[in-house]
Homo-oligomer: A and B are copies of this chain.
Amino acid sequence: MRTRLSTEQRREQLLTIGAGLFAKRPYDEVWIEEVAEIAGVSRGLLYHYFPTKRDFFAEIVRAECARLLRMSEPDEGVSRLGQLTAGLDVYLDYAQHHADGYRVIHRAAAAGDTEIREIRDAGQAANRERVLAGLAELTTIDEMTKLAVRAWFTFVTAVILDWLDNPVIAREDLRDLCVRTLFAAVGITPPG
């Protein structure tokens, strides 16, 4: 039962299957052959789309970063604090359900994998702009605020990676930790 997909649909399908596998297993335990099998395509076709496992992984990270940004698009109908909280919920939920994928992205980026780092950094920069836009209504955005927000993103990543390895804290508590730390870092009292 082979389905006839367009090039773009096939590419999407392969990336989705790959994201599912990389989410739950360490990088070295994902075989690209398995992706072909699940998709019901030949390995040759898979390699036609993604020449190496590394390329495949990088494209998955790129697609997932874009998806996460869309999923966490701020709702203009809620307060700035509500937008921040909702955005964090999306990221924490994603990390929880894609633990291995989340780990491998941040480890690869830290280990100097330039391509993965650039994809992650671009996603983080887009997110940072959102956070700064929200804060701009509450405080002056100066060099100190920008540095505090950049470092806060590192804090959030550290919190999440720590939590994934040792998930004893409730997700809401983790989110509240991130929220109150951001407000303290930028030196303002959280709006009520």
Interface residues of A (CB under 8 A from B): 107, 110-112, 143-144, 147-148, 150-152, 154-155, 157-159, 162-163, 166, 168-169, 173, 177, 180-181, 183-185, 187
Copies of the chain in the assembly: 2
Query: Of B147, B151, B177, which is within 8 A of A144 by CB?
Result: B177
Do B155 and A143 touch across chains, with their CB atoms under 8 A apart? no
Which residues of chain B come closer than 8 Å to A144, judged between CB atoms?
A: 169, 173, 177
The DSSP consensus for interface residues of chain A is helix
Do B150 and A162 touch across chains, with their CB atoms under 8 A apart? yes
Do B154 and A158 touch across chains, with their CB atoms under 8 A apart? yes
Q: Which 4 A-B pairs have the closest CB atoms?
A: A184-B184, A154-B158, A110-B110, A151-B158
Query: Of B152, B159, B180, B187, which is within 8 A of A147 by CB?
Result: B159
Do A151 and B147 touch across chains, with their CB atoms under 8 A apart? no
Query: Of B112, B154, B180, B187, which is within 8 A of A155 by CB?
Result: B154
A110-B110, A110-B111, A183-B184 known; A143+B168 contact, CB < 8 A: yes
Do A158 and B155 touch across chains, with their CB atoms under 8 A apart? yes
A63-B166 Cα distance, complex, nearest whole Å: 32
Do B158 and A143 touch across chains, with their CB atoms under 8 A apart? no
5 additional contacts, CB 8 Å, given A143-B168, A151-B158, A155-B185? A144-B169, A147-B163, A151-B162, A155-B158, A181-B185
